[in-house]
């Protein structure tokens, strides 16, 4: 399983926002995170819609975190831009497309794998990756 490029871009943007007390304009943010501005704008709209980021229009506007970095989990981030995490299509809520759903022996296994993955994503916050990112940057600079 591979997370989308949008998750990567969203993480880059959130890390940058966590480092600044002031709002960040989309043009500046796009340069800082090395993401094409139009694509980043779409990702940022999804982060705003999910409540992870706030947006202020106008010349003094821009984006900022809606919560403290330690309150934003990797799960929040992934689900904000990719939607609910499912290992197999039939895990989607309300999915009735599989004729074997009621007697499927695989579903409990897939459900356990999904639950374990979500638990790991819940264990990590933006604050942790921001700290690690700063440590790595410091190591590279030496």
Over the stretch 58-92, which tens digit does the pLDDT of each residue have? 888 899 999 999 999 999 999 999 998 888 777 66
Q: What is the pLDDT of residue 2?
A: 80
Using CA atoms, how far apart are residues 137 and 121, in angstroms rounded to an integer? 23
pLDDT the model gives residue 75:
96
Q: Which of 126, 99, 95 is nearest to 111 (CA)?
A: 95
Report residue 133's pLDDT band, with 50, 70 and 90 as the boundaries. Answer: low
What does the alpha-carbon distance between residue 26 and residue 119 come to, in Å, rounded to a whole number?
32
Q: What is the pLDDT of residue 12?
A: 95
**5-141 maps to CATH 1.10.10.10:** yes
Could you give phi then psi for residue 65, rounded to 5 degrees?
Answer: -65, 140
Token reading at 96: 């009735």
Other Cβ atoms less than 10 A from the Cβ of 111: the count is 13
């Amino acid at each position: 399983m591979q997370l989308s490029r949008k998750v990567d871009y969203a993480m880059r943007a959130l890390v940058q926002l966590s480092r600044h007390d002031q709002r960040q304009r989309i043009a500046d943010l796009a340069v800082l995170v090395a993401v094409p501005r139009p694509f980043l704008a779409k990702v940022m709209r999804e982060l705003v819609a999910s409540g992870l980021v706030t947006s202020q229009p106008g010349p003094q506007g821009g984006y900022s975190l809606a919560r403290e970095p330690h309150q934003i989990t990797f799960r929040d981030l992934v689900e904000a831009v990719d939607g609910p995490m499912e290992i197999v299509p039939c895990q989607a809520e309300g999915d009735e497309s599989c004729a074997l759903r009621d007697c499927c022996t695989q579903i409990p296994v897939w459900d356990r794998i999904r639950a374990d993955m979500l638990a790991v994503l819940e264990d990590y916050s933006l604050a942790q990756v921001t700290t690690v990112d700063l440590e790595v940057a410091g190591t590279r600079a030496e």
